[in-house]
């Protein structure tokens, strides 16, 4: 039976027989194999006898897959406590070093690795990233489960386009080259698979609200699709979002939940993926060395995570944020590309100024102007702002977008009419306000933005196995 390399390294026991399987990371002096099976960052050293069959030795190349039977022994060499003294080596999969892309490039760049995303799992960096991603996903479910939330699966195909007008991917089985037409020339969707126009979801929130009106505490964690053509280091066309929705919560409860949640999952990763995070921390430190002094971050990755877990997030209103920006040296020296005045949607340069230069910690901004936010956010008493909350994180910008929802039927329908959202089509959403409405609140956290933050990677394409971005759906 196969033993995982992680278990052998962790236990530090010696003098027992094992079988290990994995991929060769290096092979020195025709004797020392570093074998990695992805169970942890570290490879194990396997030592083969000098009398090993030459035909086999020739096939022990970087990237080859081996099965090794042997005995775990205390290691005499530096760098490891135990090693496997091999008794039998079986080649499971050969790997031609003349052709293996990871072998050909010495220190391949992240950009290059994106082009060979099917192989990049084999690198230390991506092994660490995807183990951390897994741990975060697990921690998210654990956080909500421990608090009695119900995990709700909201639909991926949806007919409502309330939120994402113009940014959605259409789902259709109509022939693209010759779709059935109405008399006025428009496409006749009644002949489509669902008998109407459908799209991939941009958010599970509206459906989650329906669940919260009975189960009280629910969350979704699923794929989300946005056809926005924003080719940035923080946007994907397909990403994963976590959306808790809680009956009886107001905006302050919502902020508390989001802050507790983010701290919990970061702490969980720090406790359970220390080796991976330390490696990623070093990687980031090296990347930072390439930057000019004044652009380097003041904290290393581990320090930053520690800091976030141990300090309160700053809480300010949108109006405060605008005033801080107007008072800033950056504004006075005309460093901002976009205009700053009450009413603007905060641009990424503004968000980054607030979190990276001014507060140097995560910031929760509340009370945004109603005109730049969605129809379902609860109107504040001033009639100008809504109970929205965005959480901005250093190096990332917006990581969470949420709000207390408008539970008052008259206010909600008025807002929908003002924003030209069809109230008849959305009867099912409005029914929650007709039949036993209550105050409630929720938020959406972009999973990949969280993984970016925790892993210290800088491009969102490097924290999802196979990124979907404009003009790119390879693999």
* Closer residue to ligand ATP, CB minimum distance, 212 or 463: 463
Distance in Å, CB of 305 to ligand ATP, minimum: 18
| 162 part of the interface to ligand ATP, by CB under 6 A | no
| 399 part of the interface to ligand ATP, by CB under 6 A | yes
CA 67 from centre of chain: 34
Give me the phi and psi of 81, to 5 degrees please. -85, -35
Query: String of b and e for 173-189 (b: at least 16 CB within 10 Å)?
Result: ebeeeeeeeeeeeeeeb
Alpha carbon of 171 to those of 153, 165, 216, 422: distances in Å? 19, 15, 32, 21
Using CB under 6 A as the binding rule, the residues of this chain from 406 to 425 that contact ligand ATP are: none
Pick from 241, 257, 321, 364 the residue near ligand ATP by CB under 6 A: 241
Alpha carbon of 80 to those of 8, 43, 45, 46, 72: distances in Å? 11, 10, 8, 11, 12
Give the span between the Cα atoms of 364 and 317, in whole angstroms: 8
Bridge-based pairing of strands 198-200 and 170-171 is antiparallel
Q: How many residues does the chain have?
A: 475
Q: Which span (150-158, 170-178, 392-400, 466-474) binds ligand ATP, by CB under 6 A?
A: 392-400
Distance in Å, CB of 241 to ligand ATP, minimum: 5
Q: Kindly report the number of other CB atoms within 10 A of residue 384's CB atom.
A: 15
Pick from 398, 408, 459, 472 the residue near ligand ATP by CB under 6 A: 398
Distance in Å, CB of 234 to ligand ATP, minimum: 6
* Closer residue to ligand ATP, CB minimum distance, 83 or 448: 448
How many residues lie near ligand ATP (CB under 6 A)?
14
* Closer residue to ligand ATP, CB minimum distance, 140 or 437: 140
Using CB under 6 A as the binding rule, the residues of this chain from 423 to 452 that contact ligand ATP are: 444-446, 448-449
* Closer residue to ligand ATP, CB minimum distance, 407 or 448: 448
Distance in Å, CB of 88 to ligand ATP, minimum: 48
Write each residue from 38 to 57 as x if it is in contact with ligand ATP (CB under 6 A), else as -, in one continuous string. --------------------
* Closer residue to ligand ATP, CB minimum distance, 66 or 305: 305
**Helix, strand, coil percentages in the chain from 3-state DSSP, rounded to 5:** 35, 25, 40
Nearest to 365, CA basis, from 412, 325, 401: 401
Distance in Å, CB of 295 to ligand ATP, minimum: 22
Distance in Å, CB of 372 to ligand ATP, minimum: 10
Give the span between the Cα atoms of 50 and 73, in whole angstroms: 17
Q: Residue 279 in contact with residue 126, Cβ under 8 Å?
A: no
* Closer residue to ligand ATP, CB minimum distance, 126 or 443: 443
| 236 part of the interface to ligand ATP, by CB under 6 A | yes
* Closer residue to ligand ATP, CB minimum distance, 214 or 233: 233
Q: Which span (51-59, 86-94, 308-316, 395-403) binds ligand ATP, by CB under 6 A?
A: 395-403
Give the span between the Cα atoms of 378 and 440, in whole angstroms: 10
* Closer residue to ligand ATP, CB minimum distance, 198 or 403: 403
* Closer residue to ligand ATP, CB minimum distance, 57 or 344: 344
Which sign, positive or negative, has the C-alpha torsion 249, 251, 255, 256? negative
Write each residue from 257 to 276 as x if it is in contact with ligand ATP (CB under 6 A), else as -, in one continuous string. --------------------
β-bridge mates for residue 472, sequence order: 469
Q: In what order do the strands lie in the sheet with 170-171?
A: 157-158, 198-200, 170-171
| 226 part of the interface to ligand ATP, by CB under 6 A | yes
CA 455 from centre of chain: 10
Give one DSSP letter per residue of 89-128, joined into a string: EEEEE---TTT-HHHHSSS--HHHHHHTTTTGGGSHHHHH
Q: Residue 66 in contact with residue 94, Cβ under 8 Å?
A: no
Distance in Å, CB of 398 to ligand ATP, minimum: 4
* Closer residue to ligand ATP, CB minimum distance, 64 or 445: 445
Residue 30 DSSP label: T
Pick from 114, 120, 131, 235 the residue near ligand ATP by CB under 6 A: 235
Distance in Å, CB of 379 to ligand ATP, minimum: 18
* Closer residue to ligand ATP, CB minimum distance, 316 or 452: 452
β-bridge mates for residue 112, sequence order: none
Q: Which span (16-24, 61-69, 128-136, 235-243) binds ligand ATP, by CB under 6 A?
A: 235-243
| 457 part of the interface to ligand ATP, by CB under 6 A | no
Binding stretches for ligand ATP (CB under 6 A): 226, 235-236, 239, 241, 398-401, 444-446, 448-449
């Amino acid at each position: 039976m196969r033993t995982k390399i992680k278990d052998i390294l962790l236990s530090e026991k010696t003098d027992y027989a094992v079988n290990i399987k994995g991929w060769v990371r290096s092979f020195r002096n025709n004797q020392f194999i570093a074998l990695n099976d992805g169970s942890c960052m570290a490879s194990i050293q396997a030592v083969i006898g000098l009398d090993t069959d030459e035909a086999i030795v020739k096939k022990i190349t970087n990237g080859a897959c081996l099965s090794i039977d042997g005995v775990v022994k205390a290691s005499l060499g530096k760098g490891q406590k135990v090693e496997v003294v091999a008794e039998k080596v079986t080649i499971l999969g050969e790997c031609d070093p003349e052709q293996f892309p990871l072998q050909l490039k010495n220190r391949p760049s992240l950009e290059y690795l994106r082009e060979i995303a099917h192989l990049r799992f084999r690198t230390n960096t991506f092994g660490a990233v995807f183990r951390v991603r897994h741990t975060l996903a697990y921690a998210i479910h654990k956080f909500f489960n421990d608090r009695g939330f119900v995990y709700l699966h909201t639909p991926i195909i949806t007919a409502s386009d309330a939120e994402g007008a113009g940014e959605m991917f259409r789902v259709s089985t109509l022939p693209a080259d010759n779709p059935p037409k109405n008399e006025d020339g428009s496409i006749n969707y009644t002949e489509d698979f669902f008998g109407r126009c459908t799209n991939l979801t941009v958010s599970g929130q509206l459906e989650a609200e329906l669940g919260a009106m009975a189960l009280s505490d629910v969350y979704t964690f699923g794929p989300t699709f946005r056809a926005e053509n924003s080719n940035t280091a923080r946007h994907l066309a397909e990403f994963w979002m976590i959306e808790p929705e809680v009956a009886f919560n107001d905006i302050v409860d919502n902020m508390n939940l989001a802050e507790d949640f983010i701290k919990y999952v970061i702490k969980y990763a720090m406790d359970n993926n220390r080796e991976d995070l330390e490696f990623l921390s070093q990687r980031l430190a090296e990347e930072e060395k390439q930057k000019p002094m004044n652009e380097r971050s003041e904290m290393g990755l581990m320090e930053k995570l520690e800091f976030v877990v141990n300090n309160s997030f700053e809480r300010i209103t949108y109006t405060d944020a605008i005033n801080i920006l107007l008072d800033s040296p950056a504004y006075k020296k005309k460093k901002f590309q976009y205009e700053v005045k009450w009413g603007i949607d905060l641009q990424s340069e503004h968000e980054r100024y607030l979190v990276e230069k001014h507060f140097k910690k995560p910031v929760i901004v509340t009370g945004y102007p109603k005109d730049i936010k969605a129809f379902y956010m609860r109107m504040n008493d001033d009639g100008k702002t809504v109970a929205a909350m965005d959480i901005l994180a250093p190096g990332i910008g917006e990581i969470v977008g949420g709000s207390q929802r408008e539970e008052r039927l008259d206010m909600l329908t008025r807002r929908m009419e003002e924003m030209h959202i069809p109230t008849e089509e959305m009867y099912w959403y409005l029914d929650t306000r007709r039949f036993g409405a209550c105050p409630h609140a929720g938020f959406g956290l972009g999973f990949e933005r969280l993984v970016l933050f925790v892993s210290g990677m800088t491009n969102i394409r490097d924290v999802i196995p196979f990124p979907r971005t404009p003009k790119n759906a390879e693999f």
